[in-house]
Amino acid sequence: MKAIIFSLGLLASHSLIPVSDRVPELKVEALCESTSQTDKAMGLALAQSFADCMRDETAARQQLGTVWATAKPAVRDTCEGEATSLGTQSYVDLLTCIQMTETASAMASTPPLRGASKNRNKQ
């Protein structure tokens, strides 16, 4: 009986993780199909195939597995909104948004450069 209660407790605690703490489930198939068809219709020499698009999205999803947990909740929410806007959904867009936001934040927090010291060459 204790084992059953313990097992149920573990299952329940896992489901209590807020949705924003997990990488969102995006439906990228429609995006990849549309991209593939558009590239072909435009006659692009290096048109992206459906399989290539899905491979890119899967790779981005895997990278998000590690990046998502360390990103600030506000960044995750903003980037998720951007990655799903206009009815398209893309892990590549989501990952790129998070990476660019983190890079911009890191650059903004660096101390400003100072000019060369006037006393450097005096000894």
Dihedral Cα 56, 62, 64, 66, nearest 10 deg: -150
Pick from 76, 118, 91: which is nearest to 29 by CA? Answer: 91
| Domain-located, residue 8 | no
| Domain-located, residue 99 | yes
Tell whether the model's pLDDT for residue 105 goes beyond 90: no
| Domain-located, residue 35 | yes
Tell whether the model's pLDDT for residue 51 goes beyond 80: yes
Dihedral Cα 58, 62, 65, 71, nearest 10 deg: -80
Q: How many domains does the chain have?
A: 1
The pLDDT of residue 102: 81
Average pLDDT, the chain: 80
**Taking residues 29-50, what's their average pLDDT?**
92
Tell whether the model's pLDDT for residue 35 goes beyond 60: yes
CA 65 – CA 86 distance, rounded (Å): 24
Tell whether the model's pLDDT for residue 33 goes beyond 60: yes
Pick from 25, 102, 100, 14: which is nearest to 57 by CA? Answer: 25
3-24, pLDDT tens digit by residue?
A: 444 444 444 444 333 445 789 9
Task: State the residue range of the domain holding 72.
Answer: 26-107
| Domain-located, residue 100 | yes
Report the sign of the C-alpha dihedral through residues 74, 75, 76, 77, in that order: positive
| Domain-located, residue 15 | no
| Domain-located, residue 7 | no
| Domain-located, residue 90 | yes
pLDDT-derived band at 118, boundaries 50, 70, 90 = low
CA dist 118 to 113, 115, 122, Å? 15, 9, 8
Token couple for 71: 């990103």
| Domain-located, residue 119 | no
